[in-house]
Structures are given as C-alpha cells and as structure tokens.
Chains A and B, each alone.
Chain A
Amino acid sequence: MTIRKSTAMIAAITMLAVGACAKKTPNVLPPAPDGVDGGGDSGYGGVVPGSQEDFLASVGAMGDRIFFGFDQYNIDAEDMTTLRTQAQWLQRNPAVRVTLEGHADERGTRDYNIALGERRANAAKNYLASLGIDPSRINVISYGKERPAELGSTEEAYSRNRRAVTVVIGR
C-alpha cells in the first residue's frame, strides 16, 4: 500500500468518524503510559516515525479508538475500518508495540467494568491479529470506568467512553 492511498483512506475515515460523532469531537486523550516518546528527538517534520504522534497523524484524530454499544464488545463495520487503518500503520512500523486500552462508561459497577474493558480491548486485539498483526506486539489493559474521555453524564458522553484505544508504547 502506498502512502498516498493510505492518506486518502484516512481522509475518508476521518470524515466518517466526524459524521458519526455528531456535534462534539473530544480531544481528551488518556494519560500517556510510561515509555511513550512524547517528543525530544524530532524526526523529519517534527514527527518521529513509529511514535504515538506519527500514529495519530496517520490514523486521524479519532482513528486510534473504536466505540461500543451499552454492555457490548462486538466489532462493527465502522470499527473494522478504523482497525484496518491502524493495522496498516502497524505493518509499516513492524518494530512498534502498542497497548490496547479497554474502557467502559460510568454506568456500571467497578469490577464488572474492568472485565468489560478487557473484553473490548481483546476484541480489538483479536481483530488486529486477524489482519496479520502479531498479537505479541499488543498489550491489553482495562481501565474499566476509571478513565473517562468525556466527563459528562449523558448518553453522548457514555457512547464516547465505551471504547478501545490503541496507544503506541515504543519499540
């Protein structure tokens, strides 16, 4: 796959994502895990290839995450598109490892939500693996309801919080 083609695809996906997001696009990202290269060595254009920054630039603003229905963990068609784009980047950066963070909305009990976040992160991991990504490159962690991206207590916020987020953790 050429860079050009991939960029076009991202643009399309980004539009899709924006359309699906309705009004508001959250910009709050979870805190970076240890080991993320948050800057320092700047590569060409200020973005280090294979970095979290590079990943986000490649997959688009919300392309690092997929969303789930209430108490659900299935990968739908929109999620597949998002994960395919992630897989393409991972294939271009074969030395990079990622963490898949599973999250739940606040309308569940704490322990169950950790289990639910595990389910969601594993569903995303399994789909990436089915696309040829070596599962040993993918860590999984569930934050349950501990790290909401959207802070409101509305159905809109909950739909943004039921998510699995791919985060680059380095090489």
Chain B
Amino acid sequence: MIEVIGLHKEFAENVLYDDYHIKFTAPKICIEAPNGQGKTTLLMMLVELEGRQSGQVLFSGKALTEPHKQVAIATDRIALPGFLTAQQIINLSANTLGCNWPTALIDGFNFNDFLNTRFDALSSGNQKKCQLILALMRDAPYLLLDEPSAALDQASIEYLLNLLDEYLTDKPEGQIIITCHEPAPFIEHGFECMPL
C-alpha cells in the first residue's frame, strides 16, 4: 500500500497540493484526472524525483530507503540522454542497476530494429517503448507508469497489458499505479480507477 500524508506542493505561487492525503490500496490502480491536476507530478514525488514543500509518502508503512531500486517509473518527464542510442541507454541502466539484458521485453515490444538509433531520433512511440523497457526490466515491487499506452501501437498495448497481468505474481506487496486518459483496456485487465 502507498500512502500520501499531508502533502504540500506548490510551484512559484500556484498551489498544486495542499494538505493532501490519499491511500492507494488496490494492487493495480489507474489515476484519472483532467490535464494539469498534477498526476505526473504526484508520480514523480512518490519516487522522490520531484521535491515537495512538506508531507510524507509511505510504501507499506515505511519511507523508501533506496528509491531507485524499490520503485520503477516510466514517464516523459524523465528526459533520457538523446546523445546515446537506445541500446546504450538500456545497457547503462542494466550495468548500473545490476539487471540482465532485457531480451524478452525488447522482443515483445518489437524494438530490436531501433536499438542502434539515437534516443532523440526515435519516434514518440519508440521513445515510450524505451521508457517502458527501462522501467519493466528493473522488476521493482512498485511500478509507476505515466500514460503508458500513449503513442503505442495496438500490438504493443496488448503486450504491455499481458505483462502487467503477470507483473505482481511474484511481488506480494507490490503495486502498479498508472495515469491514463483512456483507461478502458486497463480496467478490463483488473485496474481500479481512482480520482485524484
């Protein structure tokens, strides 16, 4: 369970969250909210990539000790190095995190042909696939995906949904949280919708 307690976040003079409390209890959750309500910012704060003025985030009742190992996130907000090829980025992540090369994920997303393309030259759909591969390869107990189906082709969406079906089988305390404007396919696969 992920619990947000007394969160306060503001940009300049715009208050985004003020004494905000929420509990994510279901294993698979889809956050729904209109544009500009702070869905991506919330995900970034959960994984401590975005600062906050005050508040606490607890994962199964505890604060994160090693966020980069305990939570995986895929979002456009994290700019990947455009001067590296997709293969170099995946390789860097595998080496620094001590993961295996994600052959199955690369095959599943039909990404082999784009491994040698520089990240900034990839199409938006392939950039999304690269982000998803980087998040999924970590096999972290908590998985946060920001608009995971945006720009993806139908076959890749199907592959992703099947992956997410199996993702938590060996992670009893794990959770998947996504943000999505078209949640129907995810709801069909067991996701519970939650407003912000």
Partners in one complex: no
Identify the B interface with A (CB < 8 A): none
